[in-house]
Amino acid sequence: MSETIFAKIAAGSIPADIVHDDDRCLVFHDVAPQAPFHLLVIPRKPIVNVAALGPDDESLVGHMVLVAAQVARDLGITGGYRLVFNCGRDGGQSVDHLHLHLLAGRPLGWPPG
């Protein structure tokens, strides 16, 4: 996997508005937000997308979801939110580094896209 912009953010070589940082993942504000709250949860481990996950990644993905929920609480998001993993180009993935979108702050319609 080539070094992506997310890997560079995780390494600290590209700045980001980081709201959570631990040894397994970090959370930062999306630079092109699609909602008043639009954050990205990325693992430090370089994984291309959901399709590339293996059995050893189960706890990492669970950790990412739990971190997203804690960040939502910390930001005072009370009206609900959406968590989204995009997978592959047809799934809307634009950066080849696994990431979980946390979207909130406006009504989110269904179906998306």
**Residue pair 58/71 in contact by the 8 Å Cβ criterion:** no
In the chain, how many domains are there?
Answer: 1
Kindly report the CATH number assigned to the domain that includes residue 77: 3.30.428.10
Active site residue 99: yes
Domain-located, residue 110: no
Per-residue model confidence as pLDDT tens for the chain (113 residues): 569 999 999 999 999 999 999 999 999 999 999 999 999 999 999 999 999 999 999 999 999 999 999 999 999 999 999 999 999 999 999 999 999 999 999 999 998 86
User: Is residue 109 in some structural domain?
Assistant: no
23 is a domain residue: yes
Task: Kindly name the residue from 20, 29, 97, 99 that is annotated as catalytic.
Answer: 99
Q: Helix, strand, coil % (nearest 5) of the chain?
A: 30, 25, 50
**What's the chain's length in residues?**
113
Q: What are phi and psi of 96, to 5 degrees?
A: -80, 60
